[in-house]
């Protein structure tokens, strides 16, 4: 990133918004986990049905986590090719927030599994996977600076 203080000041609020949105998504995952524990009841799916439903939901959750990683990488690549700082920041912000949404999807699938009568033993896998995917989607301050430093276009 250029040494121009105006560019640094322009990028700082975008990073704060991304971190706040990530924190809100994390809180949403925790609330959804609490709701899953609350609505879980004693009725259970038959084992053969539960296994099929679980397999489908695990595949969907893994796909969402992989998509989260891909969306973030594509956003970083597009931002490095942006024509100016404003376009780069917009690309990063959009890509990372979409990545957050995809990271949250396994939590929704875990909630769905419990509501359908699946075993609560699988809740940590779904909700833990969602929280880990979210943790990897939130850029660290050093990553953020590195990404912005990689913008080859003139800033301003």
Would the pLDDT of 4 be above 80? no
How far apart CA 148 and CA 146 sit, in angstroms, is 5
- pLDDT tens for 32-62 read 998 888 887 766 778 788 889 899 999 999 9
Answer yes or no: are the C-beta atoms of 65 and 106 closer than 8 Å: yes
Would the pLDDT of 72 be above 90? yes
| Nearest of 107, 98, 96 to residue 129 by alpha carbon | 107
How far apart CA 44 and CA 131 sit, in angstroms, is 26
How far apart CA 2 and CA 8 sit, in angstroms, is 8
How far apart CA 36 and CA 125 sit, in angstroms, is 13
């Amino acid at each position: 990133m250029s040494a121009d203080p105006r560019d640094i000041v322009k990028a700082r609020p975008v990073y704060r918004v991304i971190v706040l949105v990530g924190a809100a998504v994390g809180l949403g995952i925790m609330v959804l986990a609490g709701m899953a524990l609350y609505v879980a009841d004693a009725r259970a799916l038959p084992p053969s049905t539960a296994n099929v439903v679980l397999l489908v939901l695990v595949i969907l959750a893994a796909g969402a986590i992989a998509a989260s990683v891909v969306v973030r990488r594509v956003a970083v690549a597009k931002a490095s090719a942006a024509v100016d700082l404003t376009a780069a920041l917009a690309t990063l912000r959009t890509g990372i927030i979409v990545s957050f949404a995809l990271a949250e999807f396994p939590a929704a699938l875990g909630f769905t599994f419990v509501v359908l009568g699946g075993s609560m033993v699988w809740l940590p896998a779904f909700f833990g996977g969602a929280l880990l995917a979210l943790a990897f989607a939130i850029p660290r301050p050093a990553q953020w600076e590195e990404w912005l430093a990689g913008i080859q276009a003139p800033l301003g």
